[in-house]
Structure 1
Amino acid sequence: MRIGILGAGNMAGALGAKWVRAGHDVVIGARSAERAEVLAKRIGARAGTFAEAAGHGDAVLSAVGHGAAAEVVGPAAERLAGKALLDCSNPIVPGPGGLMLTTGGGPSAARALADAAPGAHVVKAFHLCAAEVWAGALADGLAVPLCGDDADALDVAGELVADVGSVPLPVGGLERAGYLEATAAIVIGMWFAGQDPRTMLPLAENAHG
């Protein structure tokens, strides 16, 4: 599969490296040509602009911060039409009581991305864990919740999840992405506090008592 990655940060490197190892043809796009070249050389991909990465991919990963996503994706919207566009952003910041959503009562980050590229098929994915988790063996067997409206895009996202050693877990349409983003605010905050979110939940076979 041809994969375009928008961004040259930690998430781009962690996921891109595993997709290259799985045999995919990856292009890294970034504002800084130097950063794109450095990352592409490190993981065995090719470097380009945001527009080139968007145009290259059968699937595209938006690996830029939530605040910059619409600015990056908007100009490339025509190149993204019909493609699976994976959103791994977390619209969260520290607040007085813990991490809080920057989206407030507005649309989710995934929905904002879909609005910026209305022809793309946005799937929320890979947002609950740090890049270091996806880069290593900790990703093996990890369930990755996915939200999206297009069945084919969800299938593509599921394949890319499997290629990093994880298990795709569809949990609904894109309208549910806001719930996933709110979940991230809670569980990431717990991890930062040294707490284990898994202690809140029984095993599936015991969930109903």
Structure 2
Amino acid sequence: MRIGILGAGNMADALGTQWLTAGHEIMVSGRDPVASAALAQKMTTAAGPYRAPSQPGQPQLASPEPEVAVVRAGTWAEAAEYGEVVMVAVTEAGLHDVLRAAGPAMRDKPVIDVTNAVGPGAYDVTRSLAELIAESTGGHVVKAFNLCHVNIWRMTPPVFDGRPLAVPLCGDDEHALATTRTLVTDLGCTPVYAGGLDRAKLLEATAAFMIGLWISGADAQAVLPPLARSGAHPTT
């Protein structure tokens, strides 16, 4: 799968490198072409060589030569055009300018939004960044990957006490959701459908609330009981 990433920061690095290792093709983009090219080289080096599997109908080579997956760097518009799926991983402050520069190429594509409003009081409960992205691009947006620190996405895989990390997804388009589920699974995580895109504002609010707890030194995960103690649940 070709993944175009709007952003050349830590989230682009962490998630993009994991997906590169899983066999996807990556293009990153940023404000500074030199910095974007440097990140692409860093990701290429970090992923290292891999042995490509045989194609159906072709014999398996006894000792296939290692190949190197090369991360590309481009402009905002080039990354948006390149990706079969596009990930938005830029700061909230620059979001409008980036989406405008990316142009119309994201229309009708799966778009993964990992952004959070950051800083004291930055989150606005009356709006959703994910819905803003959908309105601006015409893409099929899925909110995901916004609840964890970037270091979690560098783990291979993110597993705690034997339980894979669950990643909630909010979106309306089934193809975009299925694409995002694949990318979640490629990280060794468990995708969890959390409702339509109208619920993305709740996911963003959860991030704002939990990040505040973590910054204060509280164990945010401890505020919720285990599933078995959380009351009656309808059977499916």
Q: What amino acid is the match of 2:148?
A: C
State the distance in 2 between where 1:139 and 1:74 align: 34
State the distance in 1 between where 2:119 and 2:199 align: 20
Q: What amino acid is the match of 1:88?
A: V
Q: Deviations over 1:29-79 (max 9, x none)?
A: 111111110110111211111111100101111010122122211332421
Structure 1 or 2: more helix by fraction: 1
Aligned to 2:24: 24
Q: Deviations over 1:137-162 (max 9, x none)?
A: 46241111110010110000111111
Structure showing greater radius of gyration is 2
Between 78-87 and 9-18, report the one with greater CA deviation: 78-87
State the distance in 2 between where 1:104 and 1:145 align: 19
Is the aligned partner of 1:134 residue 2:153?
yes
State the distance in 1 between where 2:23 and 2:221 align: 34
Aligned to 1:167: 190
Which 4+ runs in 1 deviate beyond 3 A? Answer: none
State the distance in 1 between where 2:96 and 2:140 align: 15
Q: What amino acid is the match of 2:42?
A: R
Q: What amino acid is the match of 1:48?
A: G
Q: Aligned to 2:119, what secondary structure does the other structure show? A: strand
Is the aligned partner of 1:198 residue 2:221?
yes
**TM-score, normalization by structure 2:** 0.82
**TM-score, normalization by structure 1:** 0.92
Cα deviation, residue 23, structure 1: 0.5
State the distance in 1 between where 2:125 and 2:226 align: 32
The partner residue of 1:89 within 112, 115, 132 is 115
Aligned CA-pair RMSD? 1.4
Q: What amino acid is the match of 1:187?
A: M
Aligned to 1:59: 85
Aligned pairs (5 A) from 1:120-131: 120-131=139-150
Between 133-142 and 36-45, report the one with greater CA deviation: 133-142
Q: What amino acid is the match of 2:13?
A: G
- Contact 1:70/1:112 (8 A) holds in 2: no
For structure 1, the 5+ residue unaligned runs are: none
- Contact 2:158/2:189 (8 A) holds in 1: yes
Q: Aligned to 2:145, what secondary structure does the other structure show? A: coil
The partner residue of 2:131 within 94, 111, 117 is 111
Cα deviation, residue 203, structure 1: 1.1
> How many residues matched?
202
Q: Aligned to 2:31, what secondary structure does the other structure show? A: coil
State the distance in 1 between where 2:12 and 2:33 align: 15
Is the aligned partner of 1:46 residue 2:65?
no
